[in-house]
Structure 1
Amino acid sequence: MTTPQTHTTLVLAADQPDRLAGFYAALLDTRAEQGLQAQHWRLAWPGGGRLEIYAPSSSRPQPRSSGRLALCLQRSCSAADRLQQLQAWVEQAMALGAMAPEAPRLESFGAEAWLHDPEGNRLLLLVC
């Protein structure tokens, strides 16, 4: 008997899936592709897997919530450039519609910035 292959997929409900797909495609430097229907988009996730962005069914809405789960986008660079690289990335995200409730900061493991994407989802940009 063959074991079925498992894939990693992150699923994100959105009010405007095409706009949110464009936001994440720009930050990940990848391309958003149409999914199974008009309100469904897919992006390749770095290191494998996919990010699926869709409009939830009106019969099964997905309320917005601010839990402890967040998407984390991560880049590597030299230790001397971490904060500078992060600040440039945050500026790009904000130009695309992100909101930054706090300033980027340097931590022992790297530089991090907690943001909200254009629909208010928590997003961590990490440069280490």
Structure 2
Amino acid sequence: MAMSASIVLAADDPAGLARFYGALLQVEPQPGLSGTHWRVAWPAGGWLEIYAPSRSRPQPQQLARLALCLQRQSDGTGAVAMLNTWITAVLGLGASLQEPPRVEPFGAEAWLLDPEGNRLLLLVMPAA
């Protein structure tokens, strides 16, 4: 039996958050199974499923250890310069910077919050 996978994200404004991630990933968000469900194609395959939680089972906003991570390979201009350009674009989409960029052994990273406060890690890996 075939299996598929997706990432599920509860949202107060599913359409708005789908527009944010659609713009960030440069894909068109798609309506889901109901008026409060949206799908965004995930770069690694599968979908980012964004939905409004049921009123009978609310999901309060909370910071957790789980975060979405988007990665790019450095284009030769330098991982930090590329990361700073990317951060500026994502801030323009409505995200906020949680921690300033820093260089780690595996690349340059920055932690942000999406428009609804979910953690988002941007990682630029050094050129191979």
TM-score relative to the length of structure 2: 0.92
Q: Do 1:79 and 1:110's aligned partners in 2 also have CA atoms closer than 8 Å? A: no
- 2:2 equivalent among 1, 5, 13: 5
Q: Percent identity over the alignment?
A: 56
Which residue of 1 is the match for residue 102 of structure 2? 105
1: CA distance, partners of 2:88 / 2:77: 19
Q: Do 1:70 and 1:123's aligned partners in 2 also have CA atoms closer than 8 Å? A: yes
Does residue 49 of structure 2 align to residue 68 of structure 1? no
Amino acid at match of 2:45: G
Q: Do 1:111 and 1:126's aligned partners in 2 also have CA atoms closer than 8 Å? A: yes
Which residue of 1 is the match for residue 40 of structure 2? 43
What is the root-mean-square deviation of aligned Cα atoms in Å?
1.1
The offset of 1:116, in angstroms, is 0.6
Say which SS state the counterpart of residue 37 (structure 1) adopts.
Answer: coil
Residue pairs, 1:50-89, within 5 angstroms: 50-78=47-75, 80-89=77-86
**Between Structure 1 and Structure 2, how many residues are aligned?**
125
Say which SS state the counterpart of residue 123 (structure 2) adopts.
Answer: strand
The offset of 1:82, in angstroms, is 1.0
Say which SS state the counterpart of residue 53 (structure 1) adopts.
Answer: strand
Which residue of 2 is the match for residue 24 of structure 1? 21
Say which SS state the counterpart of residue 26 (structure 1) adopts.
Answer: helix
Which residue of 2 is the match for residue 118 of structure 1? 115
2: CA distance, partners of 1:104 / 1:79: 18
Greater strand content:
2
Amino acid at match of 2:46: G
Structure 1 alignment gaps of length 5 or more = none
Amino acid at match of 2:18: A
